Structure 1
Amino acid sequence: MAKYQEQGQLLEPYLENIICPVMAGVRKKALELREAADQTLETIKDLCILVYTLVIVCGCKAVSRFFPHDVSDLELAVSLLDKCHISPSLSSLAHETAGMMETKCVLVLWLSVLVLIPFDILLVDTSLTNRCHEKEEVPPLVQRILKISREYLCSAGTLRRAAGLSISSLLARPDMEKAFG
């Protein structure tokens, strides 16, 4: 990949063939994460490192076009990001383990695509299925996304850009005007 660093456009015709299977693997492993958490998270980290490398070489926009964008993936990505966010992967010196920053960056970038779903987030948030929710309140799923993304705004580089993109995409939704307006 290093030889493409200066000319990422050379990889762009092949991005779909590279990213779609890798992100399908991330999605599949995220669904499996409920059983074997540690090993599955390591596999997800490895896949995300590959995607992150492509993000660095080709840019966020070029890569994120090929991320999965099913409505059901929104809660899946948020819960996976939650697991990475609270994962005991920090050492006593508060350095992240190898691949964790890349994983968080790819997941936040994936969220920036998923929050663009054309449905009201109130309809997607399964935590609201048994509760009555006011239209003017911020849905719990949105609160989780904002909480994590705001913390990543303090990071440097690509993770901060991805967090800013995720927050701006989320807050630009028409249904967020009611909650924050």
Structure 2
Amino acid sequence: MALSETENGCPGGEEEEADAIVKTCVLGGFSESSETRTLIGSLPEIHEAERAREVAIDKFKVIMDRYQEQPHLLDPHLEWMTEMLLNFTRSENSPPSLVHLSFKFLFVISKVRGYKVFMQLLPHEVSDVHPVLELMSRQDPKDLETWETRYMLLLWLSVACLIPFDLSRLDGHLESEGVKIREPIMERILAVAKTYLLVSDSPRDAASVLVSKFMTRPDVKHKRLGDFLDWSLTTISQTNAHSVIEIMMLDGVLQSLAKLFKHGKRDDLLQYAPIVLRCLEQKQLSESSEAKLRKIYVKLIQRLGLTFLKPRLAAWRYQRGSRSIAANLAVPYAAAAAAAVSPETETQEQDEDYDIPEEVETVIEHLLVGLKDKETVVRWSAAKGIGRVTGRLPQELADDVVGSVLDCFRKRITPGMEAASHWQN
């Protein structure tokens, strides 16, 4: 670890400010590797003692939290840490307390490194689907002490369900002498996802990831995508954001739809986009008192707008050119003139052949409203949505959107303010 210290002198200020020392810590690697290996290896001996278990968790959190700003330093060590912990969860001899403790450690790692990177390390063979699903089915959604287990199992199932085979091949014999033994794998995973989308703790976020991965499978989207969207819209319509539980339910369903429209193919989702947009308009979530709901609402509106528009690279976008002055001067004048004309011609050709759906105007109106929200996170999400949607519009329509955004900067003077200004003059 490299440590640099800089003394800041403040002439005329207080003595404490003059003697202040600014320390900048730059970690050079994962120096606690051996300590972490010993700590993980001791879990089978300490999982039954509550005090020792809490001390181990706190110690592991302290080690991992040091790498919050430099999580990439953990990458060379993630594989062996994950393997050691997963061995405890896979072993048939591991008691439930050891399994839950191992998943708590896995959650700490995923929180520091980020679940998107950490998910890639989880086993995702065909043989992993049944064990993960069976372990998931034995969990209690209302157990507040083991939510990390459910969170990690949902992430694990999100990766395991991506096997390149039809899920019906894993079902085997579902009936014996006319009696149904168990449900198909597809139905079981979908039931798990729906259950945990409506819970009030963090597994709800992991369930939305599961939906985005599972519902975009070729075999699942043809059989269950329409039914899932119908269930989602029904849940949104019948839920009133008056209690904490209902707010969490709305948040889970909206998160799943936002991720689904982000990762799904446009051709598969385009037919459902107008229906989802109408449902959101009727719900009027932009007027909700919860910033979390307004943010995810704006994000979903943005994804719907991108679904309505074909992916394209706007020819009217800013062309920076070369950073080298010599390279710019070396370009002949005729070539530069031709390059200046060709984008405009290409834009006109694209504009003539491309029809913009009517729903795009509604999407932009909602995003412009989001730009005026009192919460920064909502405005930021709306700003990104405006930029992404506008980048797919023809130049003439994009100019109108830019003009509407610039109107937001104009100072709006109410009649009362005009009177006050006149009185002061």
TM exceeding 0.5: yes
**Which residue pairs with 2:155 in the alignment?**
109
Q: Which residue of structure 1 lines up, in the alignment, with residue 72 of structure 2?
A: 9
Cα shift at 1:73: 1.2
SS of the residue 2:134 aligns to? helix
- Give me the whole-angstrom Cα distance separating, in 2, the residues matched to 1:110 and 1:131: 34
Matched, 1:142 2:186: yes
Shift of 1:63: 1.1
CA deviation profile, 1:117-143 (whole Å, cap 9, x unmatched): 1111001124537589xxxxxx62222
- Alignment partners' CA distance in 1, 2:193 and 2:215: 12
List per-residue Cα deviations over 1:8-27 (Å, max 9, x = no partner): 22212211121122223322
Residue 56 of structure 1: aligned partner: 111
1:1-40 equivalences under 5 Å are: 1-28=64-91, 32=92, 40=95
The structure having more radius of gyration, on CA atoms, is 2
Moved more, 3-12 or 151-160: 151-160
Aligned residue identity for 1:71 = V
Q: Do the aligned residues in 2 keep the contact of 1:19 with 1:63 (CA within 8 Å)?
A: no
Q: Matched residues in 2 for 1:131 and 1:24: separation? A: 38
- TM-score normalised by the chain length of structure 2: 0.34
Partners of 1:127 and 1:56 lie apart in 2 by 39
Tell me the number of residue pairs that the alignment of Structure 1 and Structure 2 aligns. 158
Q: In structure 2, how many angstroms separate the alpha carbons of the residues matched to 1:127 and 1:45?
A: 32
Query: Which position in structure 2 is the counterpart of 1:170?
Result: 214
Offset, 1:4: 1.7
Aligned-residue identity in percent: 32
The answer on 1:46 being equivalent to 2:101 is yes
Secondary structure of 2:95's partner? helix
CA deviation vs aligned residue, 1:10-66 (integer Å, no higher than 9, x gap): 2122111211222233222xxx27xxxxx6221110110111001110011211111
Report the Cα distance in structure 2 between the residues aligned to 1:101 and 1:40, rounded to whole angstroms: 17
Q: Deviations over 1:131-165 (max 9, x none)?
A: 89xxxxxx622222222222222346752232111
What is the alpha-carbon distance in structure 2 between the residues aligned to residue 25 and residue 9 of structure 1? 25
* CA distance in structure 1 between the partners assigned to 2:120 and 2:177 by the alignment: 35
**Which structure has the higher relative contact order (CA within 8 Å, separation 6+)?**
1
TM-score by length of 1: 0.76
Which amino acid counterpart does residue 84 of structure 1 have in structure 2?
Q
1:160 corresponding residue in structure 2: 204
Matches within 5 A, 1:68-147: 68-85=123-140, 90=143, 96-97=144-145, 100-126=146-172, 128=174, 140-147=184-191
For residue 3 of structure 1, report the CA deviation from its aligned partner.
Answer: 1.3
Root-mean-square deviation (CA, aligned residues, Å) is 2.5
Q: Which amino acid aligns with 2:124?
A: H
Residue equivalent to 1:93: none
Shift of 1:170: 1.0
